[in-house]
Amino acid sequence: MTSCVEEVLEKAPLDRYAEELVWSDINLANSYLNTAYRNMSSGFNSNLNLAGVSDHTFFIHIYGTDVYVQGNITPSNMGPFNHTRFRFLNWQLFDNIQIINTFLENIDKVVENTEENEREAAQIKAEILKGEAFFLRAFAYAQMARTFGGLPILTEPFGIGDDYLGTARGSFEETIDFIVQDCDNAASLLLPKEEMEMGRATKGAALALKSRILLFAASDLTADGTAENKYVGYENPDRTALWLAAKNAAKAVIDMNAYSLADFGAPDKEAVANNYYDFFRQTDLSNNEVIWGKMFVADVGERHRNNLWQGPNGLSNYGSNNPTQDLVDTYQMEDGSSFSDHFTLDENSYYQNISDKFQNENPYYHREPRFYGSILYDSANWQPRFSDLQERDPLGIYDRRTRITTQGGNEVSSLVGIDTRQGPVHSWNAGYTGYLMKKMMDHEVIGKDQYNENVWIWMRYAEIILDYAEASLELGDSQEATTYINMIRNRAGMPDFTGDIEEALRYEREIEFTFENIRWFDIRRWKILEEKLGDAKGIEIVETRNLDEGTVNTIWRRLTVQDRTVHKKMYWIPIPNDEMNKAPHLVQNPGY
């Protein structure tokens, strides 16, 4: 994406002449801004999904995630939060802000330096590029503000020799206002999605980002009046005004009439499961539900290998992010009832079916469609085995159970599942919880050999619908909230919700956006981190065949795979020590 700029800089010294050349050509300026797009990264930045520091997955390769989930994070030991794996939300984004501010400082020079007969076209292009830059800066700030709180507000690039020592931290309120202003500036300059090159910022993306950040700002973490200081919340919050701003921001996207929910084939539940899964296998961003995202190709540029990273070890993949048993048990049954209405745990943590309606002992039957589009569970169809294991597994299932055969009261054989930690292939890459991510993988990609081409979706219309529902609910309009919550449920082949409306809203956000880097922000802004970030659980499955009696009995037993500890300080990530040393006027977050 930056080849034009790189070519110029390779041929000319990094001095005034090279800079003037870049800012004399609209195409070179465009290429310069492409660097900022690339640096925003994506949720496919590595095999570590943000869910790995939430209640949704256990990340088997650790990469410092234990530092956070076990409550040991400090400014000098930040686990993954000061690493390039999380560069899409951490302090490293200030490097990108420097690039963007340099662009904004110089873009007007391009028009001035353009030949008069081409100046009008250059002016039009420059204004759009300026809108893109405002959006990218707002996006970077929004990612960091939801992670650290108030931030240094930088509108001009630092120059060589500039003194960082005086850099101060803006309050949370000032930071939110700055992001909103950038979103408004971007929206005023950008074109609708259909008029922009696919993958670039659009008017709708700017308005959607405004909705996202205002929803976060209005939530309990920052606006319930208990924030410890002005850097992690409002000092004198007006909740009504904050929720109204969030509602209006979401409504502005809705009123564009540019986006719509994808049709998953409801009420056909099998079709919904397949189409929900396929939605995340798209290789471009043309679907009307997609507001903004990042595309990939298999053989050039920034690439990703999500199948290799997340797939089963029995296919020579890494099995990185293991969905937790708590997440699996959260998925409702196909009729909208809770899983716990039909299954319970006995004193030894074995699952027991207590249902009058769904009487199969297998807890994976009769679940809501999004479960089948999101989770690889024992015996689910996935990919054909390689030749050496096809005879053992001709169907290509995800194989997590141990099969024991008994006769005469004795065990005569025991065979562990192919995809277990005792299996025959890359057992060190096998999962611990018994589950893998299916969502955002592609069954047509051979992980060990091929790159993925499916897109990363940063924002989609379903989020706007639930933003609007939540803000409406908080403003007391439960009827409006009900309508919009059920839009998401019905699209997913589920009946209208029953019971508590707040629980219904939070269920939809949890299930609809699983693995989309939304959950960690939600459990923090709702102030339910202590409740949700408990020990990571998994499943043990043993199938016993009794040759004497001709019976087969299968048990499912819940187990703990990682102990976790939550401290209040974990609602915010500390500013790294290195950054505090560079700018001593920065104020560290509470608890650190």
> What does the pLDDT read at residue 300?
86
CA 196 vs CA 146, 192, 384, 512, 561: distances in Å: 28, 7, 40, 28, 46
Residue 173: name the closest of 248, 211, 223, 132 by CA.
Answer: 223
> What does the pLDDT read at residue 13?
45
Q: Find residue 292's DSSP bridge partners.
A: 459
Residue 456 has pLDDT above 80, yes or no: yes
What is the rounded average pLDDT of the residues 376-398?
97
> What does the pLDDT read at residue 9?
39
Where residue 357 falls among pLDDT bands split at 50, 70, 90?
very high
H or E element in which residue 112 lies: helix 93-112
pLDDT digits (tens, 9 = 90+) for 536-554: 999 999 999 999 999 999 9
- Could you tell me which residues come within 8 angstroms of residue 352 by beta carbon, excluding any fewer than 6 positions away? 343, 344, 345, 346
- When computed from its CA atoms, the radius of gyration of the chain, rounded to whole angstroms, is 25
Three-class SS of residue 288? coil
What is the rounded average pLDDT of the residues 125-136?
98
H or E element in which residue 555 lies: strand 551-562
Both structure tokens of 181: 């202003």
> What does the pLDDT read at residue 301?
86
Residue 356 has pLDDT above 60, yes or no: yes
Cβ-count burial 152-188 (b if 16+ within 10 Å, e if not): bbbeebeeeeeeeeebebbbbbebbebbbebbebbbe
Residue 12 has pLDDT above 80, yes or no: no
Residue 201 has pLDDT above 70, yes or no: yes
Residue 18 has pLDDT above 90, yes or no: no
Both structure tokens of 40: 């925003």
Where residue 165 falls among pLDDT bands split at 50, 70, 90?
confident
Where residue 7 falls among pLDDT bands split at 50, 70, 90?
very low
pLDDT digits (tens, 9 = 90+) for 388-407: 999 999 999 999 999 999 99
Residue 456: name the closest of 335, 284, 323 by CA.
Answer: 284
Residue 499 has pLDDT above 80, yes or no: yes
pLDDT digits (tens, 9 = 90+) for 69-107: 999 999 999 999 999 999 999 999 999 999 999 999 999
Residue 15 has pLDDT above 50, yes or no: no
> What does the pLDDT read at residue 19?
77
pLDDT digits (tens, 9 = 90+) for 468-498: 999 999 999 999 999 999 999 999 999 999 9
Where residue 48 falls among pLDDT bands split at 50, 70, 90?
very high
Q: Where are the domains of the chain?
A: 19-46+89-249
The hierarchical CATH code for the domain 19-46+89-249 is 1.25.40.390
In contact, 264 and 256? CB cutoff 8 Å: no
Q: What is the dihedral of CA 201, 206, 212, 217, to 10 degrees?
A: 130
**Helix axis angle, 172-189 relative to 119-148, nearest 10°?**
150
- Percent of the chain predicted with pLDDT > 90: 94
Distance of alpha carbon 135 from the chain centroid: 19
> What does the pLDDT read at residue 4?
42
pLDDT digits (tens, 9 = 90+) for 281-298: 999 999 999 999 999 998
- Which contacts (CB < 8 Å, 24+ apart) does range 164-168 have? 164/582, 164/583, 165/582, 165/583, 165/584, 165/585, 166/583, 166/585, 167/582, 167/583, 167/585, 167/586, 168/583, 168/585, 168/586
Q: How far apart are the first and last CA of the chain?
A: 39
Residue 37: name the closest of 210, 178, 188, 201 by CA.
Answer: 201
> What does the pLDDT read at residue 164?
74
Residue with tokens 């390769």: 61
Question: Hey, how many other C-beta atoms are within 10 angstroms of the C-beta on 250?
Answer: 28
pLDDT digits (tens, 9 = 90+) for 403-444: 999 999 999 999 999 999 999 999 999 999 999 999 999 999
Residue 161 has pLDDT above 90, yes or no: no
